[in-house]
Chains A and B, each alone.
Chain A
Amino acid sequence: MKSQPDSTAPVLNKAVPVRHPGRWLSAVIILGFLALFLQSLVTNSNFRWDIVGTYILDVKVVQGVGWTLLLTVASMVLAIVLAILLAFMRQSDNPVFRWSSWVWVWFFRGTPVYTQLVFWGLISVLYPRLSAGVPFGPELFSVDTSVIVTSTVAAILGLGLNESAYLAEIFRAGLKSVDRGQMEAAEALGMGKTKIMWRIILPQAMRVIVPPTGNETIGMLKTTSLVLAVPFTLDLTFATNTLANRTYLPVPLLIVAAIWYLVITSILMVGQHFIEAYYGKGVDNLAPATVNPGAAKAAGGGADVQRSIETDFPEESAR
């Protein structure tokens, strides 16, 4: 079906492209600065790359990386669960839900995360014992607050609750971005509210929600360095600071910390890429979905049952 080249084929325009001397000039300047910087990395002995090499895989440092990751993941999971709840409550018909959600966001967004972390560290001073029971009535059981709210729990609560307020706004924006017609179409099919939210609205909202949430996760990775306010003393920043104080060599240990934060950020960015691809299905990402060929045969629609994956692109499926 290829069209034959023939004598009437048009002569293609081969225009001389516009020259961009400014681009070349700016490239030379930037590369010059880069070369100077790289040279200093090698020649400036104050960087102490030998110390960086010694401590990059130090047990304390690697454990610090583990704790930082744990705090990041746990507080983000807590924040995401709360944010979904808060965003749904904000859209609810129930005015008490809407109001509670608003107050929550107002409070946790309106106070510094450092203050909140100190507060969670002091919770056992404020409430020495936690008990469950009827208000003004009998007590069912009680336990020392410090047993439940350890410094790890305090750090996760402090980071997670603060983050939930920011994420709630991101989720709210995402839910609002979905076309009103989607809700109507699902309602017209007789779907219930919960199913509409989870199966129709939220998956589409995720396209808008994921990029800023990835941003927040990377932000959280670095915010974990504030947990010494609790005080929590096992994370990466605290570990490298301790080593720096012991060795009187702050610069190489800052570099150790920076390298690890960059490595983790890079890994998180890869993860975000795949999550974005997943939720971009049908809009940004048009890889054809798999279809069960057995059902196609059963339906007798004349479908080609030899295909294990129905691509539905005629040139690929018509083998």
Chain B
Amino acid sequence: MTITTEKPLVKIEGLHKYYGQHHVLRGIDLEVNQGEVSVVIGPSGSGKSTMLRCVNLLETISAGRIYVGGDLIGYREVNGRLHDLKTKEIAAQRREIGMVFQRFNLFPHKTALQNIMEAPVQVKGQSKDVARKRAYELLDRVGLADRAGHYPSQLSGGQQQRVAIARALAMEPELMLFDEPTSALDPELVGDVLNVMKDLAKSGMTMIVVTHEIGFAREVGDRLTFMDGGVVVESGDPREVLSNPQHARTKEFLSRVL
């Protein structure tokens, strides 16, 4: 994949989010180029997960625009007026965006293999044979080829999260969203998941990663964004932001997590 700096794959413009009177996101602007790994950090309650969830419409967008691959997410704009997309159209947009959750959210009544095959067969209409072959390849890629027949409850947290990554990849998305993918894991299991994410980044996948793993941000991130209080405080090259933060709030946060 080639990196084109002129046309970002993801463009978030002036994003606001209200829960009732509670103003969670207060004008977020963020761009992610094709093939880039954009890492978002910040204290809990800073709105970083909410922003991520807006990108594939798990949260409605109160104000602002999000574009993925040039398409406006959630709306159709006709003569300057926004129209809600139909459920089916939203589902079609989500197919291009893979999502990995903090709590994995694997389907507990399906095996690892069935979890991965579900969407390609049911949504894309792939034949079971094709989907199964691809699912085995993906399981192999995340290092779990021998766990195909296991149910999620028979897997460790780290293994579940790797199956969840494989499940998202099975839809061949152009963008992957990671919502604190290692926060629910025992410390010794974090490494396996981060390694899978590193490989994915190397393969050229465009990723937005909300995380507390500063080491991952430094090593793999192309861009680091620090959010607090529903706004972007600081954004730039991860190594620069981490070694030489410009804002007092960033310095304070980093001094507590590093």
Contact = CB atoms under 8 A, between A and B. Distances in A.
Interface of A: 179, 181-182, 184-193, 195, 199-200, 203-204, 279, 281-283, 286, 288-292, 295-296, 298-303, 310-312, 314
A185 B146 CA distance: 24
A300 B140 CA distance: 9
Majority DSSP secondary structure for residues of B touching A: helix
B113 interface: yes
Given A181-B103, A312-B150, A190 B119 contact: yes
Interface of B: 56, 58, 87-88, 91-95, 97-99, 101, 103, 105-111, 113-114, 118-119, 122-123, 129, 132-133, 135-137, 139-140, 145-154, 164, 167-168, 171
Contacts of B145: 296, 299, 301-303
The residue among A184, A288, A301 with the most chain B CB atoms within 10 A of its own CB is A301
A282 B108 contact: yes
B101 A181 contact: yes
A185 B105 contact: yes
A199 B153 contact: no
A299 B91 CA distance: 29
Contacts of B171: 189-190
A219 to B, nearest CB: 27
Contacts of A193: 87
B140 A299 contact: yes
A286 B97 contact: no
Given A190-B92, A192-B91, A199-B122, A295 B132 contact: yes
Nearest to B98: A188
A179 B152 CA distance: 15
Contacts of B140: 299-302
A203 B107 CA distance: 10
A186 B151 CA distance: 17
A191 B123 contact: yes
Contact of A199 (B118, B135, B167): B118
Contacts of B164: 185
